[in-house]
Amino acid sequence: MIFTSPFPPLDIPSTNVLSYLFPDGQEPSDEPTWIDSEDPSHHLTPRQLLGWVRRLAFGLERLGLQRGDVVLLCTPNHIFVPVAYLGIVGAGCIFSGANPAYTVSELRHQMENTAAKLVLSHPSKLADVLAAADAAGLPRNRVFQFSDTHCLASKGIPDWAAMLAPPDEAASYRWPTLSPREAAETIATINYSSGTTGLPKGVCVSHRNLLANVEQTVVMRYAERPFAFENRPAERWVGFLPLYHAYGQLYTMFMAIRLRVPVYVMREFRYEDFLAAVARYRITSLQVAPPILVMLAKRPETARYDISSVRDVLCGAAPLSRDLQNECQRRFNLQINQGWGMTEVTCGALHVPGGVRDDTGSVGQLDPNCECRLIDDDGRDVGIGSPGEMLVRGPNVCLGYWRNEAATREALDADGWLRTGDVAVCDDRGYFWIVDRKKELIKVNALQVAPAELEAALLENEHVADAAAVGITLNGEEKPRAYVAIQDASRGRVTPEEIQRWMETRVAKHKRLTGGVVFVDEVPKLASGKIQRKVMREWAKRDAEALGSERVERARL
């Protein structure tokens, strides 16, 4: 059974990213769009951005970069990141963002995997970037410092201003045009997947993929009242999502310029700074992952700030429990709607439509032009109400994995269906609910246990700040185990055993935490908000080995 979107099909623009964002005959806006949250006088308008983009694109050409060459960016968030992204893509090159928290070996892997021809590095990451570049064989004259302020040369590496074309020369620069076929096949971005299994894989996103996902997201966000510039709502966003990640790129860069929404860009996420920005700038809408809502609901700092300006919240990147969703909706008088996506669908493929007040925990309906199948463990399609792994098809589905044909064949079949690894159910209205990641399911006596369900239940406990569940194998049997971060005020007031007993009355017998509860300082998560399941499995394996050794020692006594 093929599930289809209830929304009319869209005519997806078949052009390049720059021509879409800056069409001929339309003057760029002079309204501040990317604003430094620490200093709002430091900002960029679309017109200013376009000037910088042309200078960078022309500069890359003068350095000898060719169409299809990869330029890697390693930096925390700041207002000039959109300049780098669009300047690279505008030159016909490929943008690839590296997590600034990466180690030298991780940076080296991405440089080597992409065969990057040039790297832009924030000064704070320069030492690691140079070490990685040396190891990857990238000449140092192909590394530049990149920040939102001018940098003095360091370690022989100049500021990126040294490679920019002069403004008067760049003013006439014209980016390469693309035919409809080229727009569909030309890579704009290589974003790296979360890497929960093995080394991260480069996801190849085309120009058409990007434009499709922007247009789809606009329709879903304004489903109640279609977007038009003449009646656009007054919106203000805060940009704390990392800009090397698809979620941050979609909203802070593409949606912001497409909708002309000002975004207050945070250099790094600190919870109180986030609250202060929301209060100071009267932010109207948030794009978040579930951990932010956990903080809003559970951390005492929340009460010290006025966040009443926020009207709606989009939550994605990881499952959000229905209880937490509704608690935040009631407490803060705002609408929280979920969406579903992954790097391989550019960013998103399902959303609860704007204007719908959902309280069920659904991730919504299929975006326009998207299709979905649900399949069981034997590859057979299942219908309404039955769980199955999601297979998604649409114009936002990526081209495949960079230089990894085997992984591409495993993920994408000949008919364009992408295997997501997420298990979902769909109702007769076309609304979907995520059960869990297929490979993350815990199997207890042949019964499946979803970690997300256990995590949602644990978050209802007043002592629990965050939690992650995983299977642990003891005596050959898999058992549910939880790693729990407790509230600061609860330290010394509650034990793991008490949390374990508390759960017994809230879940079925096979879902009880018979593998134990362990207190941890924090649950390991990616910047996108997803729990690092690979790390959790490693913890469980380590603990199982330790518990097995203890049993052996006791048997010897």
Q: What number does CATH give the domain 17-177?
A: 3.40.50.12780
Rounded to whole angstroms, the Cα distance separating 112 from 90 reads 23
All structural domains of the chain with their residue ranges: 1-16+209-439, 17-177, 441-556
Rounded to whole angstroms, the Cα distance separating 128 from 134 reads 10
Contact 225, 212 (CB under 8 A): no
Rounded to whole angstroms, the Cα distance separating 305 from 271 reads 11
Q: Please state, in angstroms and as integers, the Cα–Cα distance from residue 362 to each residue in 317, 358, 421, 435, 493, following that order.
A: 14, 7, 18, 10, 35
Tokens matching residue 86: 């669009």
Name the class of domain 441-556.
Answer: alpha beta
Residue of 108, 69, 63, 104 lying closest to 89 (CA atoms): 69
Residue of 98, 108, 96 lying closest to 68 (CA atoms): 96
One-letter amino acid of 454: L
Tokens matching residue 224: 């109640």
Rounded to whole angstroms, the Cα distance separating 318 from 288 reads 10
Contact 359, 325 (CB under 8 A): yes
Does residue 154 sit in helix, strand or coil?
strand
What count of other Cβ atoms lies within 10 Å of the Cβ of residue 345? 28
Rounded to whole angstroms, the Cα distance separating 195 from 203 reads 11
Q: How many CA atoms lie within 13 A of 256 on its CB side?
A: 29
Rounded to whole angstroms, the Cα distance separating 430 from 1 reads 12
Rounded to whole angstroms, the Cα distance separating 294 from 331 reads 13
Contact 348, 338 (CB under 8 A): no
pTM for the model stands at 0.83
Where do runs of H (alpha helix) occur along 17-102?
Answer: 17-21, 46-62, 81-90
pLDDT digit of tens for each residue in the chain (557 aa)? 999 999 999 999 999 999 999 999 899 999 999 999 999 999 999 999 999 999 999 999 999 999 999 999 999 999 999 999 999 999 999 999 998 988 888 899 899 999 999 999 999 999 999 999 999 999 999 999 999 999 999 999 999 999 999 999 999 999 989 999 999 999 999 998 743 344 568 999 999 999 999 999 999 999 998 888 887 889 999 999 999 999 999 999 999 999 999 999 999 999 999 999 999 999 999 999 888 998 999 899 999 999 999 999 999 987 788 899 999 999 999 999 999 999 999 999 999 999 999 999 999 999 999 999 999 989 999 999 999 999 999 999 999 999 999 989 999 999 999 999 999 999 999 999 998 776 677 877 646 688 888 998 899 999 999 999 999 988 778 899 999 999 999 999 999 999 999 999 888 788 899 999 999 999 999 877 889 988 998 999 999 999 876 654 554 44
Architecture of domain 1-16+209-439: 3-Layer(aba) Sandwich (3.40)
One-letter amino acid of 295: M
Tokens matching residue 413: 């079949």
Instruction: Give yes or no on whether 17-177 and 441-556 have one common fold.
Output: no
What count of other Cβ atoms lies within 10 Å of the Cβ of residue 168? 7
